[in-house]
Structure 1
Amino acid sequence: MQLIIALALWVLVGALAIGTRRRTDQSILYAAIMIAVSLTLNIDAVYFAADGLLGGRNYADLPANLLLLVGVYFLSRAILRASSPSRACATDRPFRGGAIVTACLMVMMFVFIDAPQTSGSFMQDFGNQPAAAAYSLIQFTYLGIVVALTGTICLRFAGRMSTPARRLGFRIIGAGCGAAVLTVLSVVGMDLAHVFGAMSLLALFASAYDVLNLAAFLLLCLGLSLPPILGWVTKRIDRRKLRGVLPDLTRIWNDVSAQHVELGDETHRHTPGMASRDVDTVVHRTLVEIRDALLFDPSVRDRLTDEDLALLTATETHIGAQSASA
């Protein structure tokens, strides 16, 4: 399960990296990387190797959990900015202050935990210590509050997103946040049951945690990766369509360009967009020059068939829709 979650997060990092050039704010990518590194450290082989470098006393558990804390803070901030900028501004200061206070309290509690040997199940082995229970409760209380508010806002504002992929993505993120809140409640139950020795309750909460934790991360990864992946696929399909109509647009441009030469106008004698390898740019420039020619000499329209005019209109509409959804 730890391996599945870690792999899902690294797939998310790869998906978010697709849209790096189009995003001015990269905090969601950085947050995903931090969370991915944190949960990669949950894999026993990785954790044992990292902790061995730090002295073999479970010191690797603290940076792993601090990375998760900071990653969730940046992730929630990025999600809130995308869904409701006003809510993001309102919650930024308390979220940031809460993260700082939580991190400081976690470090203080960790100092009092007696964990002399590297353990692949830290809380299972040492969770009966009050300091360990407090260490976990402090962290997950903050995470629970943050994901609960983030999920609520995602579901509330999902319908206002600009594309179907984003609307679906935000609804899935909201569902993932709901599962994450239930995961937090199961962790709180495990921590309290372990401290008070209620082992039957501990086993019950542990079984719920396994399912909820996996569901939460898979839903969050799916919801966050859906818009960039679908955007990339859609862009590939759009470019293929534009390459398909480019020969006809070039033929139309040649027709109207020839008329310009006959009239003594030399401004359109170069092939539009040929210096660029980007088909979007080539098509856009070709359309602009065709429309300029039609404005310069309306009689050129007589050289074009109804199919040619329909192609021009359809391509312009398509280019406009692309720009609106970018």
Structure 2
Amino acid sequence: MIQTLVATLMWALVASLLIFRRKRADRSITYAAITIAIAMSLNVDAIYATADALLGGTNIATLIADALLMTGLFFLGRGVMRTGEYRPRLVRAVVSMPVLVASLFAITVAFLFIDRGTTTTQFMNDLGDEPPAAAYSIINFAYCLVVIAAMLTLASRQFRHSTGIQRLPAGLLTLGSAFGVALCVAVIVMDIAHVTDQLDLMHAVQPAYGPLSLLTFLFLCAGFAVQPAVRRAQHCLRGKRTAALAADLEPLWHRATSVRPGLSQADPLATSADDAEGRLHREIVEIRDAMIDRRITFDTNPTEVALLERAESHLLGHDQAASVSTSDDEDGAP
């Protein structure tokens, strides 16, 4: 049941990313979501049994699913890393192709030494007492642990440095990463307990696996799905703020261009009426030109100067109330 819910969450995230991020240049997070969704689907018992039967019935589907999960987390980590300027060397090293390739090679080698038998939907429960199986799972989740821990570092920092609604996706990603770290630690503890015959410890930790798995994917999916909605809301708010400032500046701009005609008078089509940013920029430039031109007389009062400075700050992105977050711009962000 948990596997089905997680797979459903992942495919819902894929759908939202394909709709809202289709124009993005970098598709790391989209690729990650698709890859992880396939991996989680293979963990659904009915799908796993069918897929493994097609592959010979020796649990090869487990290796494929885990390799896809690791690859998906690699893309996910790369996508999160690209959403901000903070990219510590350790994080770059962890979320790198050499580390992924080495980890995939290691789990493949360990997998080949497992006495796998026939298809089982309880792979580690049935085979976890074998040292190669324990090594396989520990390597797998150790890689997941370090990548998710890197994501936690980046998301928590983004949360601390964000304001207002921008903190929502970062907060959700931070929670999802924290649950993910706990999930990986729980699995590694169970693996060690199983292979060392500490079954009481394994059974004590085992009930946490399902809730931690669901919470991890729930918050991560929510965080990545919310990012485009937040960005659109901020873009809309900024557009309204830009239009309002342009309207407020219009009387001052008319006075400025009446004594010092600018490009707007020479070419009325220079700025599209639908381009609020361009209109506001043109007004600011022509007002400033009139203010510094000593050949004309153009007086302003403190209220008008303050309004002009607010408009300039807004265009420069210093207007925190209406600025658009760029934390997700590089990716398909999150």
RMSD: 4.0
Secondary structure of the 2:267 match is coil
**1:41 aligned residue:** 42
8 Å CA contact retained: 1:260, 1:268:
no
**1:287 aligned residue:** 284
8 Å CA contact retained: 2:169, 2:222:
yes
**Whole-angstrom distance in 1 between the partners of 2:3 and 2:182:** 18
Q: How does 1:54-69 map to 2 (within 5 A)?
A: 54-69=55-70
**Whole-angstrom distance in 1 between the partners of 2:267 and 2:250:** 12
Q: By how many angstroms is 1:58 displaced?
A: 3.3
Structure 2 letter corresponding to 1:84: Y
Deviations 1:283-312 (A, max 9, x none): 32343334334444653457xx88766544
TM-score (norm 2): 0.72
Q: By how many angstroms is 1:198 displaced?
A: 5.4
Q: By how many angstroms is 1:4 displaced?
A: 3.4
**Whole-angstrom distance in 1 between the partners of 2:290 and 2:220:** 51
8 Å CA contact retained: 1:172, 1:220:
yes
Change (3 A) 1:162 1:288: farther
**2:191 aligned residue:** 191
Change (3 A) 1:286 1:214: same
Change (3 A) 1:235 1:269: same
**1:177 aligned residue:** 177
Query: Is the deviation greater in 191-200 or in 37-46?
Result: 191-200
Q: How does 1:44-123 map to 2 (within 5 A)?
A: 44-48=45-49, 50-51=51-52, 53-80=54-81, 82=84, 84-88=86-90, 91-92=93-94, 96-115=97-116, 117-123=118-124
8 Å CA contact retained: 1:106, 1:139:
yes
TM-score (norm 1): 0.74
**Whole-angstrom distance in 1 between the partners of 2:263 and 2:183:** 70
Deviations 1:147-191 (A, max 9, x none): 345535654x45773655666655654443332232122212333
Change (3 A) 1:83 1:223: farther
2:212 is aligned with 1:212: yes
Query: Is the deviation greater in 282-291 or in 43-52?
Result: 43-52
**1:299 aligned residue:** 297
Change (3 A) 1:202 1:117: same
Q: By how many angstroms is 1:131 displaced?
A: 3.4
The structure carrying a bigger helix percent of its residues is 1
Structure 1 letter corresponding to 2:233: V
> Which runs of 5 or more structure 1 residues have no equivalent in the other structure?
none
**Whole-angstrom distance in 1 between the partners of 2:47 and 2:270:** 51
Secondary structure of the 1:60 match is helix
Deviations 1:178-226 (A, max 9, x none): 3223212221233344445655544332211112222233333445555
Deviations 1:31-88 (A, max 9, x none): 3443333223323454455445544543332222112112323433454563632435
Structure 2 letter corresponding to 1:5: V
Query: Is the deviation greater in 135-144 or in 189-198?
Result: 189-198
Q: How does 1:117-196 map to 2 (within 5 A)?
A: 117-148=118-149, 150-152=151-153, 155=156, 157-158=157-158, 161=161, 163=163, 169-170=169-170, 173-195=173-195
Deviations 1:91-143 (A, max 9, x none): 358x5444322211211232344556544443334444443333212211222
Change (3 A) 1:63 1:298: farther
**Whole-angstrom distance in 1 between the partners of 2:28 and 2:234:** 24
**1:268 aligned residue:** 265
Q: Larger RCO: Structure 1 or Structure 2 (Cα < 8 Å, ≥ 6 residues apart)?
A: 2
**Whole-angstrom distance in 2 between the partners of 1:249 and 1:53:** 69
Q: By how many angstroms is 1:233 displaced?
A: 1.5
2:4 is aligned with 1:6: no
Change (3 A) 1:253 1:52: farther
8 Å CA contact retained: 1:250, 1:286:
yes
**Whole-angstrom distance in 2 between the partners of 1:252 and 1:99:** 60
Structure 2 letter corresponding to 1:187: V
The aligned length equals 318
8 Å CA contact retained: 2:94, 2:146:
no
Q: By how many angstroms is 1:228 displaced?
A: 4.7
Structure 2 letter corresponding to 1:285: R
**Whole-angstrom distance in 2 between the partners of 1:198 and 1:108:** 26
